[in-house]
Amino acid sequence: MTDKETILKTFVDNFVLKDKRERCFLELINPKKRNKFIDRLNHKWDTVLNMNYLVQIDKTKDNINDIQNLLNFKDSDICYVISNYSDYDDKYLPFNAVFNEIYSRGLGSILINKTADTLFLDTEQELGGADRFIGKRN
């Protein structure tokens, strides 16, 4: 397996509902099908992600510094990105280089740490603020 396959497999095993794992992994690994998974970050994230491992960020903590502290990410920590924004999707980028670009921009994105046991989910902004979540597995 490549590094990308490993991180995606671990992410799927850690955060995707058991009955959706195989399909989601195949969608994420296939460039032609990847958008099927990504589109669900906008409207149906809770139908594929296991919400038992995600905690919604309190609106009083919904800012870059508090989120970074909740994630326990350093500015230079490399994140794998799953995003509606093609400039960032399917890339490994430092947290500080990507977070400001996707945070509160309006469409769904996930930042995953290198061990795929911690993530940040920014969902589509509809009416009011977007729902944002921290996911952790140990």
Mean pLDDT by 10 residues, the chain (138 residues): 88 97 96 93 89 93 90 94 95 94 87 96 76 90
Counting the structural domains of the chain, the total is 1
Of 17, 61, 55, 21, which is closest to residue 135 (Cα–Cα)?
Answer: 55
For residue 132, the enclosing domain spans 3-136
Sheet containing 92-94: order of strands: 54-56, 132-136, 118-122, 109-113, 78-83, 92-94
pLDDT of residue 114: 93
> Looking at residue 131, what DSSP letter applies?
P
- Residue 55 dihedral angles phi and psi, to the nearest 5°: -120, 130
pLDDT of residue 41: 84
pLDDT of residue 2: 63
pLDDT of residue 71: 93
